[in-house]
Amino acid sequence: MTDAHQEEVLGRIAKGLVYTESEAAFLAPRRRAEQIFEYNRTPPGQEDRRRSLLVEILGSVGERTVLLPPFHAGFGSNVHIGDDFFGNVNLTFVDDVDIHIGDGVMIAPSVTLTTTGHPVHPSRRADFGRFSEPIVIEDKVWIGSNVVVLPGVRVGYGSVIGAGSVVSRTIPPMTVALGAPCRVVRPITDEDLTTRGAL
């Protein structure tokens, strides 16, 4: 594939347009499959080794980051995580394009963040036709167990996503949202400082 063709494909990806597996094959060297495999088999006591592998795998990673194995990623190199992050087991990043996670974010078990979807018409899915849009999780967000965040979503500062939700649209800051599809059910207010808080 020529440089010009690669640029054309990258341009389509950046615009959220359909592209195929063959067209995107030149991006394969950015995949960190071997390092992810090793990370997921590193003994719990080898925190320094886990940290060094995480630095190799991710596009960027902040301080005091905890990512419990196993985790999974299509690339790994398109994931950017801030400080004081906690990711529980079975976190999946479908990171064909960037996933940006802010500071102080907590993610519960078995969450999927997928930047990529596929066209509805089967003829457009030939050669694994797909489209990709970045995901942004802002600072201090809490995402409950078994949540799926879909392409192009932004979850606003401080928000809580209830367990089992399917997030297909942007969630504003300081709100509680849940359901499939995920919808805002209430704001987060100062009253939540004095209670456990109810979803």
Phi/psi of residue 132, nearest 5 degrees: -140, 140
In the annotation, is 118 catalytic? yes
Q: What is the pLDDT of residue 99?
A: 98
User: What is the dihedral sign for C-alpha 122, 123, 127, 132?
Assistant: negative
| Strand 183-187 versus strand 175-178 pairing type | antiparallel
d(CA 56, CA 36): 9
**Which element (helix H / strand E) includes 37?**
helix 33-39
Residue 194, pLDDT score: 87
In the beta sheet, which residues pair with residue 31?
Answer: 76
Is the CA virtual torsion 133, 98, 37, 87 positive or negative?
negative
Q: 72 pairs with which residues across the strands?
A: 92
What is the model's pLDDT at position 3?
Answer: 86
Q: Catalytic pick from 5, 72, 80, 118?
A: 118
Domains of the chain: 3-192 (2.160.10.10)
Question: Could you list the pLDDT tens digit for every one of the 199 residues in the chain?
Answer: 788 889 999 999 999 999 999 999 999 999 999 999 999 999 999 999 999 999 999 999 999 999 999 999 999 999 999 999 999 999 999 999 999 999 999 999 999 999 999 999 999 999 999 999 999 999 999 999 999 999 999 999 999 999 999 999 999 999 999 999 999 999 999 999 888 766 6
Please name which of 115, 122, 129 lies closest in space to residue 23, comparing C-alpha atoms: 129
